[in-house]
Chains A and B, each alone.
Chain A
Amino acid sequence: MSMRLFVARDAGALAVGADEVALALEQNAAKRGIQIEIIRTGSRGMYWLEPLVEVATPQGRIAFGPVAEADVPSLLDALANNTPHLLRLGATEEIPWLKRQTRLTFARCGVIDPRSLDDYRAHGGYKGLERALSLGPDAILNEVTASGLRGRGGAGFPTGIKWKTVAHAKADRKFIVCNADEGDSGTFADRMIMEGDPFLVIEGMTIAGLTVGATKGYIYIRSEYPHAVEAMKAAIEAARRGGYLGDKIGGSTYSFDLEVRVGAGAYVCGEETSLLESLEGRRGIVRAKPPLPAHHGLFGKPTVINNVLSFAAVPFILAEGAKAYADFGMGRSRGTMPIQLAGNIRHGGLFETAFGVTLGELVDDIGGGTFTGRPVRAVQVGGPLGAYFPRALFDTPFDYEAFAARDGLIGHGGIVVFDDSVDMRRQARFAMEFCAIESCGKCTPCRIGSTRGVETIEKIINGERVHENLALVEDLCNTMKFGSLCALGGFTPYPVLSALKHFREDFVPAPTTLQAAE
């Protein structure tokens, strides 16, 4: 009987050698006459264990990792003879890091073959769409609203309200747009789900389409994600062949089709109105709101634009009911959040859990501290526009409002860990630099402010009139925060001001005995 092995095809696994390991497994097995079948899956999200090799057994999958090419011969010996192996991690589902999670959105990621529609359906795929088709638009809107789902891109706007606005808008055409321009450093959940469970995104968008009366959808994926582009295109083709996209989806009266569009390296296109401009073939210049995209979106038509993770959360909500989703979470943050642990971290990866877990638990306990073994000094939460948090704020629960109350944001759920070698002046300067590079140029606070910010922080680093320049930076941040058109200029002050506030000692030299020496 042939042995079934699972190796990820996820970009994060490929970057640490998953292809080489899969090839070595094939060649070594052939040499020894061992029959194996390798299924290329998404990643389970435990990146310090990649390349992870799993083997199917009657008791479930057993995991080995991280497997290097050189480990392959001994691994095959152990598998063929059922003997112990140093890299054996036991049953995959029992690995504590995975077992502690609540995987609603990422339930299938790393488990199924992302290119197989049959595999998707065999693991509960398209149950959400089936129920949606039986409910009809009004009842779907009620479910999505009752689930408490909020936009997972960062803004946290209630998804149900957005959909309702588009559903009630009158127009000859409406659109569904998926924002897969995941540009925040420290985030990779969109990439993982597109590579590991692309039909889920398609199903979520299809449900949105039939709810609001849209027949066409676009997925705008950043060009830095070629593997995700390929995976989504393949899945769209397969869904079309299976009757899940195109005319009369799933045998219903609804029609819906999808197209992948690729970005061109502009961070600002993650901002929804800039993304719409880019989709229309123009410079990614931010639009003033109102009008909202829900009224006046792509090609001027009512448009639902949501993040990948928002669409990906919808099939569960429809399949299991709004309450099953809303039962998780805290306060106004309902359901689960796929949190991404990144940077200088020992156990980095994708950790999906109910809102409410504290930052300290995430970084120290789940993340295991730094990769370098040095003390954690700062963590940036929410990407390049998110605040830097010191250890003193590690009791902050992961929740939209709790982070806002401490002048931060959870954004798209990325946490970047820094050890004690970090120089927060450089991080503050980088925040301004990045804003200057990526500004679309439409509004002055962002376009000019970011460059003046870089110059002023540079002066502080050089020790020029430090206190006056610090006051100037704070004043400039205030202007950017309240005067910018979108979150790029508006939120760049978060990393800058948090660095100034929580890590003041990096900016102001410690008082010396110079004065006494006079």
Chain B
Amino acid sequence: MTAVCEPWNETRGAEIIAEHADQEGATLVILHALQEAFGYIPEAAIPMVAQALNLSRAEVHGVFTFYHDFRHKPAGRHVLKLCRAEACQAAGGDALAAHAEAKLGVSLGNTTPDDRVTLEPIYCLGLCATAPSAMLDGRLIGRLDQKRLDALVAEAQR
């Protein structure tokens, strides 16, 4: 299952921004809400956020680009995240990441040309006692091995 996102719409964007703008320190809250709705943060939303929060465009752009989570363009239909941190490295995570890259034909951090799958590194899902771990569209998978990974890749490519 993958989240269905709305196409960017200025009126809808303004509504989302207005909904959260009253909170103290609202920038991240708003960016999260925009990404949840549209699947990414459209460039056009940046000046709107800035105006609503009485910040400069540069400040909002700075926040947007600082955090790994915020997307500059929509992800593929499915997002497969592989944990690349030490506990998963200790349990064979490096080989699995290489295997996933080879299977999908893209390196970590990229989307397949058919826009079906985005393959991303993640630094720790907190499942370190059942490493290596992965996340497919919000679903957690522990004790990952090549067989399970192949099944996940096949599922994501469908």
Contacts and interface: CB of A to CB of B under 8 A. Distances in A.
B128 A434 contact: no
Interface stretch (B2-10, B27-35, B98-106, B110-118): B27-35
A349 B90 contact: no
B127 A185 contact: no
Interface string B122-142: 111111111101000010111
Given A11-B140, A185-B86, A186-B86, A283 B128 contact: no
Given A11-B125, A182-B126, A343 B86 contact: yes
B84 to A, nearest CB: 9
B68 interface: yes
A184 B124 contact: yes
A262 interface: yes
Interface string A244-285: 000000000000000001111111000000000011111110
A47 interface: yes
A343 B130 contact: no
Contact of A278 (B28, B59, B87, B90): B28
A15 B140 CA distance: 5
Contacts of B141: 15
Given A185-B88, A224-B122, A418-B90, A284 B67 contact: yes
Interface in B128-158: 128-131, 133, 138, 140-143
Interface string A283-298: 1100000000000000
- Identify the interface centre among A48, A185, A226: most chain B CB within 10 Å of its CB: A185
Nearest to A276: B25
B33 to A, nearest CB: 10
A371 B91 contact: yes
Contact of A50 (B29, B123, B125, B130): B130
Contacts of B28: 261-264, 278, 281
B15 interface: no
B130 A16 contact: yes
A422 interface: yes
Contacts of A282: 25, 27, 59, 62-63
A71 B11 CA distance: 53
Given A12-B142, A266-B66, A281-B53, A416 B90 contact: yes
B42 to A, nearest CB: 17
B25 A279 contact: yes
Contacts of B22: none
A14 interface: yes
A12 B32 contact: no
Interface in A56-93: none
A185 B123 contact: yes
Given A15-B142, A349-B129, A422-B90, A264 B123 contact: no
B44 interface: no
A396 interface: no
Contacts of A343: 86-88, 90-91, 128, 131
Contact of A264 (B70, B85, B91): B70
Nearest to A345: B129
A15 B130 contact: yes
Interface string A373-390: 000000010001000000
A225 to B, nearest CB: 6
A183 B123 contact: yes
Interface in B61-113: 62-63, 66-70, 85-91
A176 interface: no
Contacts of B27: 281-282
Interface string A419-434: 1001000010010001
B142 A342 contact: no
Interface in A407-423: 414, 416-419, 422
Given A265-B67, A265-B69, A279-B25, A185 B124 contact: yes
A12 B25 contact: no
Given A280-B25, A384-B85, A434 B123 contact: yes
B14 interface: no
Given A15-B133, A16-B142, A342-B129, A281 B86 contact: no
A187 interface: yes
Contacts of A182: 126
B18 interface: no
A266 B67 contact: yes
B83 to A, nearest CB: 8
Q: Which of A284, A342, A419 has the most CB of B within 10 A?
A: A342
A343 to B, nearest CB: 4
A422 B29 CA distance: 41
Nearest to A189: B126
A414 B24 contact: no
Contacts of A340: 128-129
Contacts of A50: 130
Nearest to B67: A264
The 3 closest A-B pairs by CB, nearest first: A348-B129, A185-B85, A281-B27
Interface of B: 24-29, 31-32, 53, 59, 62-63, 66-70, 85-91, 122-131, 133, 138, 140-143
Given A48-B129, A185-B88, A265-B68, 7 more contacts: A15-B141, A16-B142, A47-B129, A223-B32, A343-B91, A344-B90, A419-B90
13 contacts: A11-B127, A12-B126, A12-B129, A15-B141, A16-B130, A50-B130, A183-B124, A185-B123, A263-B28, A263-B69, A267-B123, A416-B128, A430-B86
